[in-house]
Amino acid sequence: MGRIVVISTGGTIASRWQGSGFAADADGNEVIATAPLPEDMTVEVVDLFSVNSPRLTTAHQLTLLRTVHEVLADPGVDGIVVTHGTDTLEESAFLVDLHHHDPRPVVFTGSQRPMGTADGDGPGNLYDALLTAATTRGLGVLIAFAGRVHAARGTVKTQAVDLDAFADPSRELLGKVGFGKVTLLRSPRRPAALPLPAMPELPPRVDVVMHHADADPVLLNAAVEAGARGIVLIGTGAGNATPEIVEAVRAAVARGVLVALTTRVMAGPVTEIYTHGGAVDLVAAGAVPTGTLRAGQARIAVLSALLATDDTAEQARILRESLTPAGPVLVEA
């Protein structure tokens, strides 16, 4: 099975009762001890941090990204598993995927129930992630959860507490795990990997603003005034808002703010259909449509573009390219 490195970051899979609720406090070795290991596998642990994932910052995520690259610098490593809280797992996994150029897998997993519970899902999820990391190649960053394997790109948390917590609402399932075997159902499509960014002293601010009935540009303008270098606008329908918000987007772009357009609808792409404040006008004003990426991952794509360069035109180009997957990747069993 080879040599797998587990990077532990906390989350429910590392959580125990604190008197009034659960919180992450177990280290990686304690988490690993809860799960059976696939035969003939060597597992090493990197204790990166142990926090509930809603508390993660850009600095945490960039530290995780750099740690993944440092681990893979060792040619003797066959794959990586990242144990992570489910609340922001989709964001961290996508950040690593945007910068992942190695055929060796990075597999994220976690749990919906705390460690030590009789019906806990952490041990099974961890076993599946280890097996996936040991037996797949060339698929980019993956998420193994509840017997399913997902591509990081497009996969979001779709259940608040149920065990089968993750899915890509716009695409078919990537694979399944069962009876000690990983079965792949399709190959993901990914753009070329972005270079590893530097660790900024102060990460760029990227805010998220949602459109709704009666919405006005107040919050979008407030984000610009607060120093946001990037904004994700969550439109309605296929990515629509109002003429007033279109003008606010135009003004923000003129000030050098990178604006991405997604939708609050669960599945389907942002599409330029409507005018009078719709996606047609928003894109014309400078917003970059994010396809089927939803807000959390769209924000990560904007962040990566901002970290890549200070040139605003180049940032928009990088964002567009990161949103456009190339052909299917080669799957190496």
Give yes or no for a contact between 60 and 147, defined as CB atoms under 8 angstroms apart: no
Q: In the predicted model, is pLDDT for residue 330 greater than 70? A: no
- At residue 66, what are phi and psi to the nearest 5 degrees? -65, -35
Q: Does residue 210 sit in the same domain as residue 176? A: no
Evaluate whether residue 327 is within a structural domain: no
pTM of the complete model:
0.96
Distances from the Cα of 11 to the Cα of 32, 53, 63, 155, angstroms:
14, 6, 16, 18
Q: How far is the C-alpha of 94 from the C-alpha of 97, rounded, in Å?
A: 5
Euclidean distance between CA atoms 181 and 178, whole angstroms: 5
Is residue 212 located within the same domain as residue 173?
no
Q: Which two tokens stand for residue 238?
A: 């296929």
* Domain encompassing residue 309: 206-322
- Regarding whether 311 and 249 lie in a shared domain, the answer is yes
CATH number at residue 36: 3.40.50.1170
Cβ–Cβ under 8 Å, residues 291 and 323: yes
Rounded Cα gap, residues 266 and 191, in angstroms: 23
331 within domain boundaries: no
Residue 323 has φ and ψ, to the nearest 5°, of -95, 0
Q: Nearest 5 degrees, angle CA 155-CA 160-CA 162?
A: 95
Q: Does pLDDT of 157 surpass 90?
A: yes
Q: Assess whether 159 and 242 both reside in one domain.
A: no
**Domain total for the chain?**
2
Q: Within this chain, do residues 148 and 222 fall inside the same structural domain, yes or no?
A: no
Contact by Cβ (8 Å): 197, 62: yes
Strand partners, 210: 234
Instruction: Report if residue 156 sits inside a domain.
Output: yes
- Mind listing the pLDDT tens digit for each residue in 180-208? 999 999 999 899 999 999 999 999 999 99
Asked if pLDDT for residue 272 goes beyond 90, the answer is: yes
308: in domain: yes
Quick one: 22 and 103 in the same domain?
yes
The CATH number for 261's domain is 3.40.50.40
Q: Give yes or no: residues 28 and 170 share one domain.
A: yes
Residues 27 and 157 in one domain: yes
Local structure of 249: helix, strand or coil: helix
DSSP per-residue letters across 68-91? HHHHHTSTT--EEEEE--SSSHHH
Residue 326: the pLDDT is 55
Q: Which neighbouring-strand residues pair with 209? A: 233
Q: Look at residues 184, 217, 236 and tell me which one is the last residue of a structural domain.
A: 184
Instruction: Read off the pLDDT of each residue in 84-97 and give the average, rounded to a whole number.
Output: 98
pLDDT mean over 129-144: 97
Do 165 and 239 belong together in one domain?
A: no
The Cα 220–Cα 281 span in angstroms is: 16
Domain assignment of residue 259, yes or no: yes
**What type of residue is 158?**
T
Average pLDDT, the chain: 95
- Residue 192 belongs to a domain: no
| Residues labelled catalytic | 12, 86
